[in-house]
């Protein structure tokens, strides 16, 4: 009998049960941060030094996020995603996310790159506030608890556009954060893959 190649070897992927993926739709603030020039940096240092560098950076990120009442969503490469407001942190999640970003930027400035003591780590950070769903995403065999929605995508795009040591935030974050820090209006910008532009601001 003829059969498609691999028909009987193909692994089954089960959709997770509804009770495992049911999430909460709520306003949160999302922060993305990554190391600028990491690919070029990783080429110049030993793999074990690269691992140590990432661990030092992630340890600093976890400490700052938790201290500011946020939750670390995931690590991806040299990128950290954190969310504020999806746990018992109060309604001031925008201001706490911005404070976390400033503290993290300062913390990594004190880290040194193995074999390159004259260099320092410089982050690009994007923050956005909006409605998202925090739920389990994946399959019955591998499930990640994460935030999904346009607010998350905007934060990620802002991070991609940010310059070294720059913190870019969206308009809703600007409105929610109050006057805790000096903010510069960078104007209306278009984000990759998104039709509508947004107003963005840079934290000084």
Structure pTM? 0.86
Q: How many residues are listed for the chain in this entry?
A: 204
Angle between helices 93-109 and 47-67 (to 10 degrees): 150
CATH code of domain 24-203: 3.30.70.1230
Q: What is the average per-residue pLDDT within 152-181?
A: 93
Per-domain boundaries in the chain: 24-203
What is the rounded CA–CA span in Å between residue 110 and residue 35? 14
Is residue 16 over pLDDT 60?
no
Contact between residue 126 and residue 156 where contact means Cβ atoms under 8 Å apart: yes
pLDDT band at 129 (very low <50, low <70, confident <90, very high): very high
Question: Is beta strand 123-138 parallel, antiparallel or unpaired with respect to 166-170?
Answer: parallel
Q: Is the pLDDT of residue 10 over 60?
A: no
Rounded to whole angstroms, the Cα distance separating 122 from 141 reads 37
Q: Look over the chain and give the mean of its residue pLDDT values, rounded to a whole number.
A: 86
- Out of 20-24, 115-119, 157-161, 181-185, pick the least confident: 20-24
Of 26-30, 84-88, 180-184, least confident by mean pLDDT is: 84-88
Q: Please give the structure tokens belonging to residue 36.
A: 């600028």
Instruction: Identify the band that residue 202 occupies on the pLDDT scale cut at 50, 70 and 90.
Output: very high
pLDDT given for residue 5 in this prediction = 46
């Amino acid at each position: 009998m003829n059969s498609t190649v691999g028909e009987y070897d193909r692994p089954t992927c089960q959709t997770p049960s509804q009770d495992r993926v049911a999430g909460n739709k709520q306003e949160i603030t999302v922060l993305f941060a990554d190391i600028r020039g990491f690919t070029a940096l990783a080429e110049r240092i030993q793999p074990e030094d690269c691992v140590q560098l990432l661990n030092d950076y992630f340890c600093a990120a976890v400490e700052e996020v938790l201290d500011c009442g946020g939750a670390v969503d995931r690590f991806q490469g040299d990128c950290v995603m954190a969310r504020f407001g999806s746990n018992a942190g109060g309604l001031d999640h925008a201001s706490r996310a911005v404070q976390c970003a400033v503290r993290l930027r300062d913390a990594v400035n004190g880290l040194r790159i193995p074999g390159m003591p004259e260099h320092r780590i410089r982050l690009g950070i994007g923050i956005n506030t909006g409605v998202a769903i925090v739920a389990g995403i994946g399959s019955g065999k591998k499930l990640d608890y994460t935030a999904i929605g346009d607010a998350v995508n905007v934060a990620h795009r802002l991070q991609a556009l940010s310059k070294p040591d720059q913190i870019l935030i969206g308009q809703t974050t600007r409105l929610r954060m109050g006057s805790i820090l000096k903010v510069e209006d960078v104007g209306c910008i278009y984000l990759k893959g998104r039709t509508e532009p947004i107003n963005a601001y840079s934290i000084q």
